[in-house]
């Protein structure tokens, strides 16, 4: 997709050495993106002034003229991304502004992923795009998984490895709650995890997914992102219809209830494809039906990045994230 508008200004930044220094890579990419964006020093201040002049204070607070798109390398057999740390590096520079993005994927081979920026290909770098816009835009994020009554406490953990849940070996507890034999989990966790991932509640009571990817020594579970000791996590359950329909809900949020939608960027987790199988076509057809004749483009990803309604930015799994662009000015 090629996107051009006098009302959107772009800056692209790269932060290398993400494997060894994820926090610093996020900071550097954000700094470079901000440094490279070129604003219209006449039009932009005028439209911002007009927006503030016309709107009530409560509406001014909801006006978002700054957005960021993030693209990081995806997990491989030799690389485990620390996305939340990289995102922390990004937000330490940008402050609290909407973010949508993803980890690159390689068709489930887990051998090598790539990101591109400014005509170059990178295997070990964070890419950040800064958007300064006078158009109304928004980020939508939904996954469609439902919480169950199975809530457990992380009683022993270090880094991204959870050793115990409810004071028992983590993989044993997970096997009992999901009815997947532990021998099967040790061979391949994907069938279980795409059906029963873990969810962590935010302060509004909405659950976001954080999943283990392997059973390791002493029947511990290795998670994609660290899970703190003492935290409560819930077994989530898949529902194919709700997983597909979550795309509709995310798009509605990203496009202000579909008012004047002009374009859509989509980041859909490849694990959704793994669980839905042929049903993934329904997600694609739903997106086409919702956006009608407007353009959309996106990626099947290994992880997603998004600002949730509380304002926090997280790495997500099994989630549909989108960035919607409308043709309405923030001053309207």
Asked if the structure places residue 1 within a domain, the reply is no
Q: Is residue 110 part of a domain?
A: yes
Given this model, what pLDDT does residue 297 score? Answer: 94
Q: Which tens digits make up the pLDDT trace of 65-78?
A: 899 999 999 999 89
Residue 3 in domain: no
Q: For position 257, what pLDDT does the model report?
A: 76
Reply yes or no on whether the pLDDT at 146 is more than 90.
Answer: yes
Is 230 among the domain residues? yes
**Does residue 194 lie within any of the structural domains?**
yes
pLDDT value at residue 261 = 87
* Residue 142 pLDDT exceeds 80: yes
**For residue 256, is pLDDT > 90?**
no
Of 36-50, 89-103, 230-244, which gets the smallest average pLDDT? Answer: 36-50
pLDDT digits 0-9 by tens, 109-125: 999 999 999 999 999 99
| Same structural domain, 106 and 153 | no
pLDDT (mean) for 275-281: 90
Do residue 213 and residue 87 come from a single domain? no
- 59 shares a domain with 20: yes
Residues 228 and 92 in one domain: no
Together in a domain, 106 and 168:
no
pLDDT of residue 274: 86
Same domain assignment for residues 129 and 98: yes
Of the residues 181, 210, 237, the one at which a domain ends = 237
Assess whether pLDDT exceeds 90 at residue 41. Answer: no
Number of domains in the chain: 2
Same domain, 178 and 34: no
154, 93: one domain = no
Q: Is the pLDDT of residue 229 over 90?
A: yes
What pLDDT was estimated at residue 220? 96
Residue at 2 is within a domain: no
Domain identity same for 38 and 155? no
Q: Pick the last residue of a domain from 203, 218, 237.
A: 237
Rounded average pLDDT over 94-106 = 95
Q: Do 122 and 244 fall within a single domain?
A: yes
Predicted pLDDT of residue 40: 82
Size of the chain, expressed as the number of residues it contains? 332
Contact 306, 323 (CB under 8 A): no
Q: Are residues 115 and 210 in the same domain?
A: no
Domain membership of residue 201 as a residue range:
146-237
pLDDT of 196 strictly over 80: yes
The reported pLDDT for the residue numbered 68 is 97
With pLDDT > 70 as the criterion, what percentage of the chain qualifies? 100
Same domain for 272 and 325, yes or no, is yes
Cβ atoms within 10 Å, residue 124: 14
What's the chain's average pLDDT?
92
Q: Which of 237, 262, 292 is the last residue of a domain?
A: 237
């Amino acid at each position: 997709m090629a996107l051009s508008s006098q009302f959107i200004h772009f800056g692209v930044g790269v932060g290398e050495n993400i494997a060894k220094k994820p926090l610093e890579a996020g900071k550097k990419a954000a700094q470079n993106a901000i440094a490279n964006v070129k604003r219209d020093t006449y039009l932009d201040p005028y439209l911002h002034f007009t927006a503030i002049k016309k709107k009530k204070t409560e509406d001014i607070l909801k006006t978002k003229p700054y957005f960021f798109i993030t693209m990081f390398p995806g997990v491989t057999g030799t690389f485990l991304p620390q996305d939340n740390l990289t995102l922390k590096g990004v937000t330490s520079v940008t402050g609290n502004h909407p973010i949508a993005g993803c980890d690159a994927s390689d068709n489930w081979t887990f051998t090598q992923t790539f990101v591109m920026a400014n005509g170059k290909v990178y295997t070990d770098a964070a890419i950040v795009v800064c958007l300064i816009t006078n158009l109304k835009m928004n980020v939508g994020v939904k996954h469609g998984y439902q919480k169950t009554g199975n809530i457990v406490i992380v009683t022993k953990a270090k880094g991204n490895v959870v050793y115990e849940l409810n004071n028992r070996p983590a993989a044993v507890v997970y096997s009992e709650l999901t009815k997947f034999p532990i021998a099967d989990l040790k061979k391949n966790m994907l069938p279980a995890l795409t059906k029963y991932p873990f969810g962590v509640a935010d302060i509004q009571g909405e659950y976001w997914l954080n999943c283990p990817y392997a059973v390791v020594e002493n029947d511990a579970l290795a998670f994609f992102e660290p899970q703190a000791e003492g935290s409560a996590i819930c077994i989530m359950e898949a529902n194919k219809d709700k997983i597909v329909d979550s795309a509709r809900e995310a798009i509605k949020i990203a496009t202000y209830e579909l008012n004047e939608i002009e374009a859509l960027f989509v980041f859909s987790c490849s694990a959704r494809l793994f669980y839905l199988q042929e049903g993934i076509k329904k997600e694609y057809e739903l997106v086409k039906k919702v956006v009608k004749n407007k353009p959309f483009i996106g990626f099947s990803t290994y992880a997603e990045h998004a600002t949730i309604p509380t304002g926090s930015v997280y790495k997500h799994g099994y989630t549909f994230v989108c960035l919607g662009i409308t043709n309405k000015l923030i001053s309207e």
